Structure 1
Amino acid sequence: MGHSHAHDGRQGHAHLPGGVGDGTILIAVVINLALTGAQILGGYVADSTALIADGVHNLSDALSLVLAFGARRLARRPASPEMSYGWGRAEIVAAFVNYIALIAISVWLGIEALARLVDPPQVAGGLVMALAAFALVVDALTAALVWRAAKESVNIRAAFLHNLADAAVSVAVILGGALIWAFGWQIADPILTLLISAVILWHIGQEIGPVMRMLMLAAPAGVDHAALVRAMAGVEGVAGAHHLHLWQIDERRNALSAHLVLRKGADPAKAVRRVKALLRRDFGIGHATIETEREGEPCGDRDDGQGHHPH
């Protein structure tokens, strides 16, 4: 029985987005913390849950950036015997924690807003507009700071999306402050708070799926399992494949383990090399662990621990 590994040259090294330094992320954190303090204090003074909601959301942005910063640094640590894949998945865990925190915040804000719909308080519309406009500028600046990193990291992208959502929320809060200031429509504040919560939850719903798939070791999205098996079986000297497991190590690395069934007379080393080349070229799988067995021979692994038997 043959046993072989293929590495894509990146194993144990998290390739983080280039061109965006840790200092940039720290600047974004400081800016968001300053904005959070101003909005929450202003929200209490103006008695505006919408402004407090925006401030709490900005606090979650700052904390998400702190978490992203920590995970980014952790992901740079090299692989070790205890952590053979390295620490790249720390960014995925950080993104998941950020999303769960946002869900909790959104639910809390929605409950507060529903209570205020019954008896809307008097809100200082002018102060709300001023602070929301300040928040819009800060959100746009923060998003610009982390935009390049967001394109290559699910962890940074989670924080980036927080800022985009905040920018949209700030526009809504400005509108609500204008309605209160011009027409005295106090109910606009809790209504906007509910809309803010809905927008946050919608964004999470769009982004949390891929993160969950990676945490659950699911196959990369878009990979056809049946087509993959057929392609492997079509390689010269290969009769079939079983015990196939495909998963994402992180955003940039896919891995596979499988048993190849070889035809009589096939060279195991050549067959494995051809399959690895196929996996890398056609399916983007750079890390493959492959065992070989001859056609007609019993498989050494009668059960793979998942209830799957050779076929």
Structure 2
Amino acid sequence: MADPHGHAHGQGKGQGHHHHHHGLDGDRAIGWAVAVNLALTVAQIVGGLIADSTALIADGIHNLSDALALVLAFGARRLARRAATPEWSFGWGRAEIVAAFVNYLALIAISVWLAIEALGRLADPPQVAGGLVMALAGFALLVDLATAALVWRQAKDSVNIRAAFLHNLADAGVSVAVIIGGALIWAFGWNLADPILTLAISAVILWHVVQQVGPVFRMLMLAAPPGSDPEAVLAALRGLEGVAGAHHLHLWQIDEKRAAASVHLVVPGADYLSVTRAAKALLARDFGIDHATIEVEPPDACADAAQDAAAQDHHGHGH
């Protein structure tokens, strides 16, 4: 990956300053979080098999998904620091988006599998060792909170690490539920608590995925940044001095921090340069778009400019 050079490369990029300060500390924190979560996963899955508790195995698998999320996050962070090259002209920032999306797809598969397992057990709930379940879920709760604390600072700066961080918080809640379930089984012998809890855990995982996957999917599909208004962008560009029309607008996100645009401007005069500068300044200042590609054309080169303005505006917004 970006191993020996990634840190130095990152300094040349827009978000390099952040990486320069927190990159190595963040990597160390994520490394510890991965190690602790993997150890916990083994303990919970083995404990779940011994105690015959699908809820404990479910919690263990959810923890494994956290560990994998953090591994993805770690690798993607390193990749995202690689400098742009002529061949990879946008750099590797989108590696984090791909990692987050893969992670969400894995979570959907896991939660569906857990729900199927739990439904099978509802009809005939097995005897569950409630004390062991409580002890391991208590240990899991401590690990979840420790992991969340380790990656909290990085979560503020990365969609990818935020996904992992949210899984940890969800896990902490799930562990509390498993402790309560273990207590019910231990005190009252209510073995149905185990499959019911497993279904609840599955629902929690799916709910988190549904909440988080939308923005990631938008970035992968090159949709306009959330909250952006393509009509307002076109109207602002058409209002610039020397601009007779604007069409063929495309807005998209390069990664979580960078938005981009490409647009055609119809300019009757000869002062193309000042119009282009003004358009780029407007996009950066009013819409947070720092990466703009602007094609300027005279009215006679665009015979159907008026038609374009209507038809292509509509076409451009779909992108």
User: How far apart are residue 16 of structure 1 and its match?
Assistant: 4.5
* Aligned ranges 1:86-235 → 2 under 5 Å: 86-235=91-240
Q: Please list every run of 5 or more consecutive structure 2 residues that lacks an aligned counterpart in the other structure.
A: 1-11
CA contact (8 A) 2:151 2:161 kept: yes
Query: Could you say which residue in structure 2 is the equivalent of 1:294?
Result: 298
Query: Could you say which residue in structure 1 is the equivalent of 2:249?
Result: 244
CA contact (8 A) 2:33 2:150 kept: yes
CA contact (8 A) 2:130 2:182 kept: yes
Q: Secondary structure of 1:114's match?
A: helix
Cα–Cα, structure 1 residues 188 and 132, in superposed 2: closer, same or farther, change >3 Å? Answer: same
2:152 alignment partner AA: W
User: How far apart are residue 243 of structure 1 and its match?
Assistant: 1.2
CA contact (8 A) 1:169 1:196 kept: yes
Q: Secondary structure of 1:138's match?
A: helix
1:190 alignment partner AA: P
CA contact (8 A) 1:17 1:148 kept: no
CA contact (8 A) 2:137 2:175 kept: yes
Q: How many residues align?
A: 298
Query: Could you say which residue in structure 2 is the equivalent of 1:84?
Result: 89
- Structure with more of its chain in helix, by fraction: 2
Query: Could you say which residue in structure 2 is the equivalent of 1:22?
Result: 27
User: How far apart are residue 64 of structure 1 and its match?
Assistant: 1.1
CA contact (8 A) 2:51 2:133 kept: yes
Q: Of 69, 72, 80, which aligns to 1:75?
A: 80
CA contact (8 A) 2:121 2:195 kept: yes
Q: Secondary structure of 2:244's match?
A: strand
Q: Structure 1: how far apart are the matches of 2:147 and 2:15?
A: 30
CA contact (8 A) 2:230 2:249 kept: no
2:183 alignment partner AA: A
Q: Of 280, 286, 296, which aligns to 1:282?
A: 286
Greater relative CO, 1 or 2 (CA 8 Å, sep 6+) = 1
Q: Please list every run of 5 or more consecutive structure 1 residues that lacks an aligned counterpart in the other structure.
A: 1-8
1:174 alignment partner AA: I
User: How far apart are residue 67 of structure 1 and its match?
Assistant: 1.0
1:268 matched to 2:272? The reply is: yes
CA contact (8 A) 2:247 2:312 kept: no
- Deviations, residues 72-123 of structure 1 (Å, cap 9, x unaligned): 1011111111100000000000000000000000000000000000100000
User: How far apart are residue 265 of structure 1 and its match?
Assistant: 2.7
Q: Secondary structure of 1:180's match?
A: helix
Calculate the TM-score normalised by the size of structure 2: 0.89
User: How far apart are residue 10 of structure 1 and its match?
Assistant: 4.0
Cα–Cα, structure 1 residues 299 and 83, in superposed 2: closer, same or farther, change >3 Å? Answer: farther
Calculate the TM-score normalised by the size of structure 1: 0.91
User: How far apart are residue 298 of structure 1 and its match?
Assistant: 2.1
Identity %: 71
